[in-house]
Amino acid sequence: MAERERRRTPPYGGVFVARTRVMDADEIGRAIWRMAHEIVERNHGLDGVVLIGLQTGGVWLAEQLAHTMGEIEGGHPPLGTLDVAFHRDDIGLRPLLPEAPTHIPVSLDGQAVVLVDDVLFTGRTIRAALDALTTYGRPRAVQLAVMIDRGHRELPIRPDFVGKNLPTRRDEVVDAHREGVDLGEVVK
């Protein structure tokens, strides 16, 4: 879970308390290996593929996917980062907190862009990412890779590549990181 979610969770602040580890580092590694193979297979190699990690939770996953795809194909796809803070639909409801600069290393025109995030929940962050991408070009296709799909969608958004489907309650919090995936709550 990104620090941004911790700060935004009412009553604005608190500490994440993990209740259960649902994936360990080895399981994360296997999921990344499988997802990387699926991305390479769907796109017939790495030509014209760009990975974009969403700040902050998706950046580590995009880096790992790019590294693994490089091992599979012998070359790394272009890797960028995207902060969607200014494109969110909840501006005014929550504090606006840009996390890190956006860095898109190549033109996205005609490319297959793989958006990468750690946890897919309501779909609103992905909607904001789709809006933000138009600033950087017109991709041929946009695909979505997430480590955890926890359900509770509010928008018609579906991931193309998933590490693990994890049904949760709306009040639970999922924290995905390199060492594993934890399920718990944020307490004040």
How would residue 22 be classed by pLDDT, with cut points 50, 70 and 90? very high
Distance, in Å, from the CA atom of 31 to the CA atom of 10, rounded to the nearest integer, reads 32
* pLDDT for the residue 92: 55
CATH top-level class of 23-170 = alpha beta
Question: 132-165, pLDDT tens digit by residue?
Answer: 999 999 999 999 999 999 999 999 999 999 999 9
* pLDDT for the residue 100: 77
Q: Where are the domains of the chain?
A: 23-170
Does residue 51 or residue 56 have the better pLDDT? Answer: 51
Whether the pTM exceeds 0.85: the reply is yes
Question: 62-115, pLDDT tens digit by residue?
Answer: 999 999 999 999 999 999 999 998 777 666 555 556 667 899 999 999 999 999
Residue 1 has pLDDT above 60, yes or no: no
